[in-house]
Amino acid sequence: MNTTSAAPQSKEQLAAALFAMVREVIPRKLQDGFAITPQTELADLGINSMAKISLAFKMEERLGIDVSRLGEAMADVRTVQDVIDLVERAVAQ
């Protein structure tokens, strides 16, 4: 079964898709009532290196982004906006 969906068409759609994926990888205790903004630090959401890997694979599955194209940049992201910027660059390539 192919679960890859079409890539979002606009920056707003891309951001919304990424916000949803970030919410999926944060610890359950933080999911309710925690406002996530582009400036939110991933560490504040409890996203560690393993969660970043999970997020990268969600992006590959849902957005069709080849995780290998993200390279080591995924390890360096610090905020939700960093993730959005990284994906925008990957989609543009």
Number of domains into which the chain is organized: 1
Which structural domain range is residue 41 located in? 11-92
pLDDT on residue 2: 40
Q: Residue 67 belongs to what H/E stretch?
A: helix 67-70
Identify whether 4 is part of a domain: no
Identify whether 59 is part of a domain: yes
**CATH number, position 43:** 1.10.1200.10
E strand map for the chain: none
Per-residue pLDDT of the chain in tens (93 residues, 90 and over written 9): 444 455 556 888 888 888 888 888 776 656 666 778 899 899 988 888 888 888 888 888 888 888 777 768 888 999 999 998 988 888 777
What are the backbone dihedrals phi and psi of residue 21, each rounded to the nearest 5 degrees, phi first?
-65, -40
Identify whether 23 is part of a domain: yes
